[in-house]
Structure 1
Amino acid sequence: MSVSTALVVGGTSGIGLATARRLREAGAAVHVAARGEKGLADLAATDPTITGHRADGGDRSAIGAVAAEIGAVDWLVVALSGREGPGPIADLDLGMLRRAFDAKFWGHLTTVQAVLPYLAPTGSITLLSAITARTGMPGTAGVAAINGAVEALVRPLAAELAPVRVNGVSPGFVDTPWWSALPEDARREYFAQAAQALPVRRIATAEDVAEAVVLAATNPNLTGTVIETDGGARLVSMA
């Protein structure tokens, strides 16, 4: 029986790392690409059966070289993100927003282009957006635009690249290092308030979202779909 090969770009922490681990547990040969030396060193120490590669998702040559080294990719997961983007529109720093688009939207698109020549004909591409793309939370216009742009890729690419499958996963509040800029007490208080507003009454873990990512990547009957794994955030006011 052949072993499937997965490449997770942005996979040394949070949802990307949780996804890489779940794919490895499922028997795949898993490769992770990231730009940070420390994250890759930590990965090598904690998950020696996952192969790390140093490459920036926004660098087409670097990501293409990783894919060429792997040889063939069955499941591409793009889990790139950035902390920039939120803020009231009246004084939103547009230079910062451009950097945020570079990090996430252009990073996603660049990665897809770079890996496409190495993708198996029956392979898949899974993109990570966020529920801000479809909610109306004040102060999120910038990140909503970024995530909306990522999600806008899914359906046309699913049609254009068929039989390669293309899906997206849209998480809501997730307890990951993305929130590390907040002091611990402030983060806990914010999460407690948010959890009370969510229909599921809890904040997701990276592992919760990784389950949806693995489903999107591996299920042969899913394409052109954005899976919402947001605890019901889109159903209620989170203002």
Structure 2
Amino acid sequence: MTFANETKSIVIGGTSGIGKAVATALANRDGTVDVASRSTGLDVKDEAAIAAYFDAQGPVDHVVFTAGSSAPGGAVADVPFDAAKQAFDTKFWGAVAVAKAAARYIKPGGTITLTSGFLARRTVPGTYVKTAMNAALVAVAKILAKELAPVRVNIVSPGLTDTEAYAGMAVHARATMLNKTAKSLPAGKVGCADDLAAGYLFAIDNPFVTGAVIDIDGGALIN
């Protein structure tokens, strides 16, 4: 896609991690980038707040949703419903609310790019919340690609990515996890935020891509 001075992009979840890398990459192009997240005061669980945000922004060319949630792990029989619902409220329903609000303002030829995760298509016991949430997002993205055409809607599916999301782990435990995963992947490394940002830019730039799941997972799905 051609970026000009009047091109406007929005990154929801763009103040940290993958979203920040996407926002930084877009900021290096012509046009403007608006970044919103919980830290800027936007709660993606609040549909009215999302609608008001897009009303204030007006026409937009590209919308990226990278806001995530801390999904609880554990067996289906053990995970409390409240914890599972809270995760869905942020990542799944938040993404739907953003797409719904953005659809009113997205310009012809514009794009919406959502975020899932490789667990959407990988069976791993103890991860049902992430699996269900990400699989649901993939399904919705494909429906949106048909309903909103010619606006292009795609979804990036990351594998393990070294971001602030793991900042709460002990340094040694984090390093051990990342190194173990890197050795197990065909790519021989875990992702970094810039690796993933390139996938969002691909979805934005290629006019022949819509309804696609863009896997950037170091080969996790073929392991």
Deviation for aligned residue 1:100: 0.6
Q: Deviations over 1:168-198 (max 9, x none)?
A: 0000010011112321110100111111100
Q: 1:1-239 maps to which residues of 2 (within 5 A)?
A: 1-36=4-39, 40=40, 54-236=41-223
Structure 2: distance between partners of 1:71 and 1:110: 16
Q: Distance in 2 between matches of 1:63 and 1:126?
A: 16
Q: What is the deviation of 1:26?
A: 2.2
Displacement after TM superposition at 1:90 (Å): 3.4
**Contact kept in structure 2, 1:135 and 1:234, CA below 8 Å:** yes
CA displacement at 1:235 relative to structure 2: 1.0
Q: Distance in 1 between matches of 2:76 and 2:166?
A: 21
In the alignment, what sits opposite 1:44? none
Q: SS state of the match for residue 186, structure 2?
A: coil
Contact 1:10 1:57 survives alignment (8 Å): no
The residue type equivalent to 2:178 in the other structure is F
Deviation of the 1:156 alpha carbon? 1.4
Q: In the aligned structure 2, how far is the partner of 1:61 from the partner of 1:95?
A: 22
Sequence identity (%):
39
Aligned residue pairs, count: 220
Does structure 2 conserve the Cα–Cα contact (< 8 Å) formed by 1:124 and 1:218?
Answer: no
Unaligned runs of 5+ in 1: 41-53
Partner SS for 2:77: helix
Deviation at 1:89, TM superposition (A): 2.7
Residues 124 and 164, structure 1, Cα contact 8 Å, conserved in 2: yes
Q: Are the equivalent residues in 1 in contact too, given 2:12–2:65 (CA < 8 A)?
A: yes
Is the contact between residue 58 and residue 108 of structure 1 (CA under 8 Å) also seen in structure 2?
no
Amino acid in the other structure paired with 1:99: Q
Counterpart-to-counterpart distance in 1, 2:30 and 2:72:
36
Deviations 1:61-110 (A, max 9, x none): 22222222222110010111111232233312221001111111000001
Question: Is contact 2:190–2:218 with CA below 8 Å preserved after alignment?
Answer: yes
TM-score for both structures, normalised by structure 1: 0.88
CA–CA distance in structure 2, aligned partners of residues 159 and 232 of structure 1: 28
* Regions of 4+ moved over 4 Å: none
Q: Match of 1:50?
A: none
Structure 1 residue 218: deviation in Å? 2.8
1:212-236 residue CA offsets vs partner (Å, 9 max, x unmatched)? 0111123211101010000000111
SS of equivalent to 1:18: helix
